[in-house]
Every structure is written in C-alpha cells, then in structure tokens.
C-alpha cells in the first residue's frame, strides 16, 4: 500500500513478470532475426543451385518426354518457386503470423496419420526402387539412365517421381511442426 492507501500499480511479482515478458520478447526477436538471416542464405543457395543445375546438369541430359504430363515436371521453375515460397514461409511469414499466437492445439491425431502415411509412402518408394533396379540388375558403381518404355524403367521412373513429390509433402511437415522455441 502506498501512503495514500492505494495499492501499488506494479508489485514486485508484476515487475518480475513484465521483465520476464520483455526478455522473452527479446529472445523471440533474436530468433526471428536469425531465421530471417538463414532464410536469405537459403534463397541464395536455392538460386545458385537452380542456376547451376539448369545451366550445367539439366542441359546435359536429353529431355525425358515420358513425364511431361506429370505435375511439376515440365519445367524446373515451379519447383524453384515452391522452394522459395517454403523458405519465405518458414523463415519470415510463419514466425510473423504466429508471433503473438498460441500453437495450434489438437493436431496430434492428424500428425500421427500424416506420419503413418509418410512412413508407408517411404516404404513403398524403397520397395519400388529396389524391385525396379537396386535389388537386381543395377550396377552400384554407375548405371546409365534408361530412357526406354520397358516396365522396369517406368517403374523406376515412377518411384523417382514419387520420391521427388514426397519432398513437397515434407514441406508441410516442417512448416506445421517447427514452432519457435518456448521460453
């Protein structure tokens, strides 16, 4: 109580809580700055990888027309754009959006189902790539690309595509389950 009979506006417990909140906010700001910096470097690496891959590796192989109608396969640009969008979301947009929000609750069942799906998909990709080559006739040192329409070649092509596509599904996993540290 003050001399006037009113309670103090800030008790020591309130001051301590306010100082703790300020410290937590400062730590969160530091983490967001580091995430943003990491995001900038990720964009630089993504651009360099895309440029190097497109100018050297991709142009040294003939175009594989068997997959021209498949999602994201006609050009590397959609993959590049999705990668940049992912980087922006996990290093800048997501942290800014979730800054003063509680983590989403009630996702445990959904995440368990998602993880079961990912395990099943990874197992299927492993079996398909093994059955179409690695468990049989492939040379482990160097195997040329088979651009034929033989069933074994198509099976390997399908397994490789679903592996590639599963990486975009992994984007969802990382974005949904990578919260800022709790202080």
- Please list the helix, strand and coil fractions of the chain in percent, rounded to the nearest 5, in that order: 70, 0, 30
Q: Provide the whole-model pTM.
A: 0.69
C-alpha angle 117-120-126 in degrees, rounded to nearest 5: 140
What is the pLDDT tens value at each position of the chain, 183 positions in all?
A: 455 555 555 566 667 668 888 888 888 888 888 888 888 888 888 888 888 877 777 777 778 889 888 998 888 888 888 988 888 888 888 888 888 888 778 888 888 898 999 999 999 999 998 888 878 777 777 778 888 999 988 999 999 999 999 988 888 777 655 554 444
Residue written as token pair 């006739």: 137
Three-state secondary structure of 137-169: CCCCCCCCCCCCCCHHHHHHHHHHHHHHHHHHH
The residues spanned by each domain of the chain are: 8-101, 105-183
């Amino acid at each position: 109580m003050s001399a006037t009979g009113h309670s103090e506006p800030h008790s020591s417990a309130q001051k301590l809580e306010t100082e703790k909140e300020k410290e937590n906010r400062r730590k969160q700001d530091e983490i967001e700055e580091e995430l943003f910096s990491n995001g900038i470097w990720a964009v630089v690496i993504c651009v360099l990888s895309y440029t190097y891959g497109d100018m050297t590796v991709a142009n040294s192989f003939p175009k594989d027309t068997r997959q021209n109608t498949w999602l994201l396969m006609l050009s590397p640009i959609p993959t590049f754009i999705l990668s940049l969008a992912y980087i922006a979301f996990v290093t800048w947009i997501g942290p800014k959006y979730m800054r003063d929000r509680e983590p989403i609750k009630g996702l445990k069942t959904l995440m368990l189902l998602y993880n079961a799906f990912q395990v099943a998909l990874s197992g299927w990709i492993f079996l398909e790539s093994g059955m179409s080559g690695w468990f049989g006739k492939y040379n482990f040192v160097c195997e040329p690309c088979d651009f034929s329409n033989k069933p074994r070649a198509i099976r390997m092509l399908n397994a490789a595509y679903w592996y590639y596509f599963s990486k975009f599904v992994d984007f969802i996993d990382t974005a949904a389950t990578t919260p800022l540290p709790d202080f």
